């Protein structure tokens, strides 16, 4: 029997609407859904490869338990949960609830109920140890919002933008900021005459479309932004009316950026002064616009300062939604909020929550610093973490792989949900075999939640979609949805789970279905989930539209342009010895930067054939290759001050000279045999958790990393 059903791809956070052909209960084909709004049928090759992923013969169909000799034996999910629960209660009794921690990463896109129930479980046992990939991502954005304050009216409408400034992101590939059919969205944006400015050491697919591409030296984003702010202020392009009414600290900011003259910035960042001036002039003359920071600057250290300066520049131009504009990103499956054309005052970014026992790291508005998690596990004493639940990878995505490996090995209990025996799963005591995309109902709720934390996600329009599960797991499989482990453990331990304020306790007598949980999570939503369910192609819900309302007469809140911590960090930037800070020398002559590739999402499962090369090449400028007498496909050793890996070079004319780029999420575990041409290489063998870490979020230097590249004849 052949059926065609609609659903949503969850292989990345773009949530493309798809049409799925099912033949006799098996996923046969995936296409874009042309009947769905916003996306115009777009999908990428990863979406097309979903059948290969679902039908992967290596997929886990049973939970696994690690044996004393390191091998894995199947175990029933019921038995696994019994054993894990017993271990958890033993650890809590012996070491207290802080000994139990959880980490959520990318896979929660596919399993929306997993993170909420992991959190609810940890809260129920009294553990504050909740970590996430957010603090390895763009955590500076969250901190910067707190230090600067936010705009209660939200962002300006995309169709009004006359300029978009993108700092180290590549939406055509990543879909961040232009989430729905990014190529088309960008084209439509440029067709209106609007201008794109991109700051990126690489001439990316997106940068090629830019009016101004500042092809800068990695890590110089704070200097460039300070330079742009300086130009906007000194040329009289500040929106005086907006700033007088809504912000404070202009004079201090003006003073702090005064040393970032075009010549100084251009020299330091390796760009042309006239390009900088042109970028400032475009920003200065545009009547409306929006700015976005990507992962590039976040990994290059000082991600918080970069995000903060970006917000300051946006406020100086008054690029926030005015009264009477239709609000972007109104809530659909979340409770309605009122948008108002007024500032929300800055709020504490840190200093209110759990403290780690290492390097003075602490809870912030971005969460607990995951950069300190491995050391937390390895540091003996009261409060040491003994058990870790992972929903997302660690071995390929966390910095300093050897430290991660040591930490995971030191645990009394490591549980991972997974669909394959991934590198991280190979480290676990228990691997909970989980359901895959089409076996789980799809809901746009997570995209909406992400947009609250990062403006590059979600939908400008009131879009929502829900699709039921399309197929059952393979016959005879004993697989769970990730949330079930937390629910069942809680039940076994006699705990009452509850998620979020204002929500009733969960029924602990009768296990809910995933749909029940979605109802629970969407309680009080602007549009009832039952209404969203009526639209198999997803839908734009006009009833959820909101206008940006007037300012409250008694509003005294102001956006902060001169946060003392940020201004003093900026002073450090201006006064430091640039080359000492960059740490390039004859031994380490290249700066390594992160980048994403079209057909992989982080370390997620890669169906064979979707990548032209199955590995992650080390991209280099052809002239740099020539200088080292290297040719495409040659093996090289890439060495940083922290470690070395073997990789395969590939020419990329778009790269700035002296800069090399490598995608994360590849390679194997320490001690495992690996071939860089088959498995790729793990860039996180070159990083170190305590290397130039951001003091607020703990994210270490994962970009602008000094490395050497040398030919290698044998691995
Ligand atoms: N050096 C360097 N490191 C980085 C980055 C970088 O740019 N450079 N980027 C960082 C960023 S932005 C992020 S978000 C993180 C990403 O890091 P994570 O969010 O941790 O993502 P992955 O490591 O890709 O996690 C995917 C893994 O989870 C497993 N998995 C577990 N449960 C499930 C499930 O239910 N379903 C599925 N399909 N898979 C499951 C899969 O085996 C897969 O290997 O990496 C960060 N690390
Ligand atoms: N295809 C695909 N899509 C993805 C993912 C994926 O793995 N693959 N991952 C998803 C995730 S987890 C995330 S967080 C988002 C990230 O979304 P983006 O941030 O847009 O990710 P990238 O495409 O890596 O873009 C980062 C850009 O920063 C540039 N860069 C590097 N260093 C610097 C620097 O010091 N300064 C500046 N200005 N630029 C620099 C790089 O050249 C690169 O073009 O993408 C998501 N989408
Ligand atoms: S961009 Fe590709 S991987 Fe991401 S949701 Fe769309 S089809 Fe899936
Ligand atoms: Mo990410």
Q: State the distance from the centre of ligand 2 to the C-alpha of 198, rounded, in angstroms.
A: 13
The yes-or-no verdict on residue 501 having pLDDT over 80 is: no
- Three-state SS for 123? helix
> Is residue 676 included in any domain, yes or no?
yes
Q: Of 10, 25, 55, which residue constitutes the final position of a domain?
A: 55
Q: List the CATH number of the domain containing 590.
A: 2.40.40.20
The yes-or-no verdict on residue 608 having pLDDT over 90 is: no
> Is residue 34 included in any domain, yes or no?
yes
Q: Is 154 in the same domain as 240?
A: yes
- The C-alpha atoms of residue 436 and residue 261 are separated, in whole angstroms, by 53
Biggest CA pair distance of the chain? 72
3-class SS string, 514-556: HHHHHHHHCCCCCCCHHHHCCCCCCEECHHHCCEEECCCCCCC
Q: Is 38 in the same domain as 75?
A: no
Q: List the CATH number of the domain containing 185.
A: 3.40.228.10
Q: State the distance from the centre of ligand 3 to the C-alpha of 599, rounded, in angstroms.
A: 9
Nearest alpha carbon, ligand 2 atom 13: 174
Q: State the distance from the centre of ligand 3 to the C-alpha of 170, rounded, in angstroms.
A: 15
**Which ligand lies nearest to the CA atom of residue 269 in the structure?**
2
Is the CB of residue 167 less than 8 Å from the CB of residue 303? no
Q: Which of 390, 384, 361, 319 is nearest to 160 (CA)?
A: 319
- The C-alpha atoms of residue 253 and residue 570 are separated, in whole angstroms, by 10
- The C-alpha atoms of residue 707 and residue 388 are separated, in whole angstroms, by 33
- pLDDT tier at 500, thresholds 50, 70, 90: confident
The yes-or-no verdict on residue 252 having pLDDT over 70 is: yes
Q: Is 70 in the same domain as 41?
A: no
Residue 606's pLDDT is what? 86
> Is residue 338 included in any domain, yes or no?
no
- The C-alpha atoms of residue 171 and residue 293 are separated, in whole angstroms, by 11
Give me the mean pLDDT over the 469-489 stretch.
96
**Which ligand lies nearest to the CA atom of residue 665 in the structure?**
1
Q: Is 620 in the same domain as 702?
A: yes
Q: Is 120 in the same domain as 152?
A: no
What mean pLDDT, rounded, does the chain reach? 97
Q: Mind listing the pLDDT tens digit for each residue in 400-416?
A: 999 999 999 999 999 99
- Three-state SS for 473? coil
Q: What are phi and psi of 645, to 5 degrees?
A: -140, 160
Q: Is 50 in the same domain as 65?
A: no
- The C-alpha atoms of residue 666 and residue 681 are separated, in whole angstroms, by 5
H/E stretch holding 420 reads: none
> Is residue 457 included in any domain, yes or no?
no
Residue 499's pLDDT is what? 86
3-class SS string, 422-460: CCCHHHCCEEEEECCHHHCCEECHHHHHHHHHCCCCCCC
> Is residue 649 included in any domain, yes or no?
yes
Q: Which of 689, 687, 662, 660 is nearest to 676 (CA)?
A: 662
Higher pLDDT, 104 or 499: 104
Nearest alpha carbon, ligand 1 atom 31: 418
Nearest alpha carbon, ligand 1 atom 40: 418
Q: Mind listing the pLDDT tens digit for each residue in 173-219?
A: 999 999 999 999 999 999 999 999 999 999 999 999 999 999 999 99
> Is the CB of 46 within 6 Å of ligand 3?
yes
Residue 714's pLDDT is what? 67
- The C-alpha atoms of residue 229 and residue 253 are separated, in whole angstroms, by 9
The yes-or-no verdict on residue 690 having pLDDT over 70 is: yes
Q: List the CATH number of the domain containing 386.
A: 3.40.50.740
Give me the mean pLDDT over the 318-347 stretch.
98
Residue 715's pLDDT is what? 62
Give, as residue ranges, everything with CB less than 5 Å from ion ligand 4.
137
The encoded tokens of residue 503 equal: 């929500």
The yes-or-no verdict on residue 373 having pLDDT over 90 is: yes
Residue 453's pLDDT is what? 93
Residue 713's pLDDT is what? 79
The encoded tokens of residue 184 equal: 């088309």
Pairing status of strand 150-151 against strand 343-344: antiparallel
Q: Is 274 in the same domain as 393?
A: no
Task: Please give the tally of structural domains in the chain.
Answer: 4
Q: Is 98 in the same domain as 246?
A: no
**What's the helix, strand, coil split of the chain in %, to 5?**
35, 20, 45
Q: Is 168 in the same domain as 231?
A: yes
Q: List the CATH number of the domain containing 35.
A: 2.20.25.90
| H-only helix segments in 286-371 | 295-299, 303-316
Nearest alpha carbon, ligand 2 atom 38: 168
Pairing status of strand 635-640 against strand 539-540: unpaired
> Is residue 447 included in any domain, yes or no?
no
Q: Is 182 in the same domain as 274?
A: yes
> Is residue 360 included in any domain, yes or no?
no
Pairing status of strand 72-75 against strand 100-104: unpaired
DSSP 176-225: SSS-SSHHHHHHHHHHTT-EEEEE-SB--TTGGG-SEEE-PPTT-HHHHH
Q: State the distance from the centre of ligand 3 to the C-alpha of 9, rounded, in angstroms.
A: 6
Q: Is 303 in the same domain as 284?
A: yes
Nearest alpha carbon, ligand 2 atom 9: 601
Is the CB of residue 639 less than 8 Å from the CB of residue 710? yes
Pairing status of strand 387-391 against strand 100-104: parallel
Q: State the distance from the centre of ligand 1 to the C-alpha of 91, rounded, in angstroms.
A: 27
End-to-end CA distance of the chain: 50
Q: Mind listing the pLDDT tens digit for each residue in 104-152?
A: 999 989 999 999 999 999 999 999 999 999 999 999 999 999 999 999 9
Give me the mean pLDDT over the 363-378 stretch.
98
pTM of the model: 0.98
Name the strands in the sheet holding 26-32, side by side, starting at the edge strand that comes first in the sequence: 2-8, 17-23, 26-32
Q: Rg for the chain (alpha carbons), in Å?
A: 25
Question: Which residues constitute the domain of residue 318?
Answer: 140-325+558-564
Q: Is 209 in the same domain as 271?
A: yes
Q: Mind listing the pLDDT tens digit for each residue in 428-478?
A: 999 999 999 999 999 999 999 999 999 999 999 999 999 999 999 999 999
> Is the CB of 256 within 6 Å of ligand 2?
no
> Is residue 345 included in any domain, yes or no?
no
Ligand 3 binding pocket mutation candidate from 7, 8, 14 (most atoms within 8 A of CB): 14
């Amino acid at each position: 029997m052949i059926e065609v059903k609609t659903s949503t791809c969850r292989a990345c956070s773009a949530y493309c609407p798809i049409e799925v052909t099912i033949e006799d209960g098996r996923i046969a084909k995936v296409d874009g859904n042309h009947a769905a709004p916003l996306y115009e049928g777009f999908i990428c090759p990863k979406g097309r490869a979903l059948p290969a992923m679902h039908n992967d013969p290596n997929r886990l169909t049973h939970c696994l338990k690690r044996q004393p000799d390191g091998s894995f034996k199947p175990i029933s999910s019921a038995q696994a949960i019994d054993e894990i629960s017993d271990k958890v209660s033993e650890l809590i009794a012996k070491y207290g609830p802080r000994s139990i921690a959880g980490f959520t990463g990318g896979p929660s896109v596919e399993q929306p109920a997993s993170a909420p129930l992991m959190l609810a479980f940890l809260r129920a046992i009294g553990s504050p140890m909740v970590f996430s990939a957010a603090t390895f991502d763009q955590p500076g954005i969250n901190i910067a919002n707190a230090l600067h304050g936010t705009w209660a009216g939200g962002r300006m409408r995309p169709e009004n933008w006359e300029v978009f400034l993108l700092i180290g992101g590549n939406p055509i590939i990543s879909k961040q900021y232009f989430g729905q059919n990014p190529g088309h969205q960008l084209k439509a944006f440029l067709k209106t005459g609007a201008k794109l400015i991109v700051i990126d050491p690489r001439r990316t697919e997106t940068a090629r479309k830019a009016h101004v591409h500042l092809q800068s030296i990695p890590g110089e984003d704070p200097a460039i932004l300070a330079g742009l702010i300086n130009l906007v202020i000194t040329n009289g392009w500040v929106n005086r009316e907006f700033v007088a009414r809504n912000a404070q600290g202009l004079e201090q900011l003006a003073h702090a950026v005064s040393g970032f003259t075009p010549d100084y910035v251009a020299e330091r960042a390796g760009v042309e002064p006239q390009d900088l001036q042109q970028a400032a002039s475009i920003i200065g003359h545009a009547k409306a616009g929006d700015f976005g920071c990507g992962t590039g600057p976040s990994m290059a250290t000082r991600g918080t300062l970069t995000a903060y300066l970006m917000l300051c520049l946006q406020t100086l131009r008054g690029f926030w939604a005015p009264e009477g504009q239709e609000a972007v990103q109104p809530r659909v499956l979340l409770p309605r909020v009122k948008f108002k054309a007024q500032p929300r005052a800055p709020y504490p970014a840190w200093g209110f929550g759990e403290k780690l026992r290492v390097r003075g790291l602490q809870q912030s508005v971005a969460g607990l610093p995951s950069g300190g998690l491995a050391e937390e596990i390895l540091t003996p004493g009261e409060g040491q973490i003994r058990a870790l639940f992972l929903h997302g990878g660690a071995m390929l995505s966390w910095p300093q792989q050897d430290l991660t490996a040591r930490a995971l090995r030191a645990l009394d209990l490591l549980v991972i949900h997974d669909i394959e025996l991934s590198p991280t799963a190979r480290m676990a005591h228990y691997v909970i075999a989980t359901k895959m995309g089409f076996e789980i109902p799809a809901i746009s709720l997570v995209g909406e939640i992400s947009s609250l934390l990062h403006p590059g996600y979600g939908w400008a329009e009131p879009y929502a979609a829900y699709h039921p599960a399309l197929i059952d797991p393979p016959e005879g499989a004993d697989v769970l949805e990730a949330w079930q482990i937390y629910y069942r453990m809680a039940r076994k331990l006699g705990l009452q789970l509850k998620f979020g304020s204002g929500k009733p306790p969960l029924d602990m007598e009768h296990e809910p279905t995933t749909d029940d949980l979605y109802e629970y999570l969407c309680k009080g939503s602007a549009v009832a989930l039952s209404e969203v369910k009526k639209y198999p192609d997803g839908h734009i819900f006009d009833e959820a539209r909101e206008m940006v309302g007037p300012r409250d007469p008694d509003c005294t809140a102001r956006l902060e342009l001169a946060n003392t911590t940020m201004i003093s960090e900026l002073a450090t930037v201006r006064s430091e010895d640039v080359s000492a800070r960059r740490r390039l020398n004859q031994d380490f002559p290249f700066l390594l930067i992160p980048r994403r590739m079209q057909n992989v999402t982080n370390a997620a499962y890669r169906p064979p054939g979707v990548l032209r090369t199955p590995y992650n090449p080390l991209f280099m400028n052809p002239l740099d290759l020539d200088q080292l007498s290297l040719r495409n496909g040659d093996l090289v050793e890439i060495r940083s001050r922290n470690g070395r890996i073997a990789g395969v070079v590939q020419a990329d004319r778009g790269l700035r000279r002296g800069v090399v780029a490598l995608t994360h999420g590849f390679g194997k575990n320490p001690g495992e045999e690996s071939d860089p041409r088959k498995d790729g290489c793990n860039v996180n063998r070159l990083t170190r958790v305590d290397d130039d870490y951001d003091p607020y979020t703990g994210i270490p230097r994962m970009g602008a990393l000094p490395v050497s590249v040398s030919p290698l004849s044998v691995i």
